[in-house]
Amino acid sequence: MPELPEVETVRRGLAPAMEGAVIARAEVNRPDLRWPFPARMAERLTGQRVERLRRRSKYILADLSGGETLLIHLGMSGRMTVSGDPLGQFVHTHPAAQKHDHVVFHMDNGARITFNDPRRFGAMDLMPTATAEDHKLLMVLGPEPLGNDFHENHLIAAFKGKNTPAKSALLDQGIVAGLGNIYVCEALFRAGVSPRRKAGHIAAVRVAALVPIIRQVLTEAIEAGGSSLKDFRQADGELGYFQHSFDVYGREGEPCRRPGCGGTVQRITQSGRSSFYCAQCQR
Ligand SMILES: [Zn+2]
């Protein structure tokens, strides 16, 4: 499942092909993904210039010249592929149409963007740009972890008196937007905080320390995604999936990477999801 750094990498990969270009033709091959597409989606997209491609949490938002914004969510298995990019960053030939190519944007600069999603947990919607933040999927979101509204005092206030484990508190999209299972595990490891510790029981100074660590963990992953874009002469032009190594995530039974710890990474289940952590050094 793509997390924030993967989505940001997709956004950065799409930007050169989409920003400033006009959607010459939108091909919508089915009526829905997770939810029905908005009415007349193909018509409303056709002829629109993409003014700006931005990201909010795990959503890609394309602001269009006509005053609407296209929201794109990759869901569990959604993939974006760029082909025929005139800037030479991507494969030049358009691939043959694949099963599950649900939406294809034919840009006036010759680029083609294909959204393929076998499981169809992804989503697309259109809303007025002026009130985009009021969209039902966006209005519930807390601050962006890399934005100015995510700061020490915010997190301390959000954790105060909370009886839920630290893991669940950080996954709460109303507290901080876009953090998923992988990067929460990594941030808690780096901070030396147990995913099981009740959020309200963590000393304020340790909660405060989570803020720069969360930013760092995400920034490093986005940088790894960025280098994957640089050598992006990938055969299939698919965006957003890159090699990245984790300290605890997926390392059950392996030695803890904290120097001098000597502990072993464990996996537990919290709210139905796996948490990886070292009980020796995460308290
Ligand atoms: Zn350890």
Catalytic residue list contains 233: no
pTM for this structure? 0.93
The per-residue pLDDT for 235 is 46
Give the confidence band of 269 by pLDDT, cuts at 50, 70, 90: very high
Q: How many CB atoms lie within 10 A of CB 243?
A: 8
The mean of the pLDDT values for the chain is: 92
Catalytic residue list contains 27: no
Residue in the block written with tokens 């009526």: 31
User: Which pLDDT tens digit goes with each residue over 210-257?
Assistant: 999 999 999 999 988 877 776 554 545 677 666 678 999 999 999 999
Would you call 130 exposed, middle or buried from its count of C-beta atoms within 10 A (0-12, 13-18, 19+)? exposed
Catalytic residue list contains 136: no
Catalytic residue from among 11, 56, 58, 167: 58
Taking the centre of ligand 1 as the mean of its atom positions, its distance from the CA of residue 197, in whole angstroms, is: 16
Taking the centre of ligand 1 as the mean of its atom positions, its distance from the CA of residue 259, in whole angstroms, is: 8
User: Which pLDDT tens digit goes with each residue over 94-115?
Assistant: 888 889 999 999 999 999 999 9
Dihedral sign, Cα of residue 249, residue 151, residue 75, residue 9: negative
User: Which pLDDT tens digit goes with each residue over 38-62?
Assistant: 999 999 999 999 999 999 999 999 9
Taking the centre of ligand 1 as the mean of its atom positions, its distance from the CA of residue 196, in whole angstroms, is: 15
Taking the centre of ligand 1 as the mean of its atom positions, its distance from the CA of residue 78, in whole angstroms, is: 35
Taking the centre of ligand 1 as the mean of its atom positions, its distance from the CA of residue 242, in whole angstroms, is: 26
